[in-house]
Amino acid sequence: MCNLYNITTNQEAIRAVTKAFDRLGNLEPSLDIYPDQLAPIVRNIGGERELARVRWGMPSSQQAIYQAATKRADRLRAKGKEVDFQELLKMEPDGGTTNIRNTASKHWMRWTGVDNRCVVPFTRFAEPDPASKAGGGRTPNAWFAGDQSEPLMFFAGFWVPNWQCVRKIKEGMVTCDLFAFLTTEPNVVVAPIHPKAMPVILRDEAEVEIWLSAPWTIARSLQRPLPDSELVLLAKVEQEADNPPTDQGSLL
């Protein structure tokens, strides 16, 4: 499950591929993106394409939130505390779902139309690599890119505007725009590191155009592994931020 990626490019390159209006502000020369952070996406909005920053992590299902609230209520009752379950459920934190696989589910199907589609620029993405872990500490990451030069590429994603939820208890109820990207079966490059899934990657400007504008019956065909020859495992990448965010949300 991809929960870290990097973008090292410029806004002009993103605009050239996506034909988007730029409302991003200044993009950092190199940016590691973790769950629940703001990240650049190109989204369909109001009949236009907009390059903007949006929070990573789409709304989790009602079932997942209900189950989390039920567990929290049980823990509180075990401590002898009274619980107003409906209020607890309303304020249950939802760190967001970063990776989406089953687009046929009722939860995700409502956002498969053109108005809720986006593309997410990246130059490399990470998967934890337990096999390379030595001793204690964090599991190191394996990094993947289009080739060793780390060219600009795009994840196929969805976004939702003005979603009201509790992302973190300390924030309380907030209203924000949210995004996530699709996953699919891994190709032979990713599978040795992460055998369950890899992000859906759009190979060129034509596929970006299909994803952002075609009917779902056509666009969904892009949910497939990237050809093996179009992705590489990078040589050891410089260590990402020494202190990455520790609250990365619920990952479903």
Query: What pTM value is reported for the model?
Result: 0.87
> What per-residue confidence (pLDDT) applies to 100?
96
Per the model's pLDDT, the better-predicted residue between 89 and 21 turns out to be 21
pLDDT score of 62 more than 90: no
The mean of the pLDDT values for the chain is 88
3-state secondary structure (DSSP) of residue 29: coil
Locate all alpha helices (DSSP H) within 30-186, ordered by sequence. Answer: 62-78, 85-90, 106-109
Cα 109 from chain centroid?
17
Q: Selecting from 3.30.230.10, 3.90.1680.20, 3.40.50.300, 3.30.70.380, what CATH number does the domain 5-59+94-233 have?
A: 3.90.1680.20
Domain boundaries, the chain: 5-59+94-233
> What per-residue confidence (pLDDT) applies to 41?
97
What stretch of H or E contains 38? strand 38-45
pLDDT score of 246 more than 70: no
Cα 65 from chain centroid?
19
Which of 97-106, 158-167, 239-248 shows the lowest per-residue confidence on average (mean pLDDT)?
A: 239-248
- Give percent above pLDDT 90 in the chain: 63
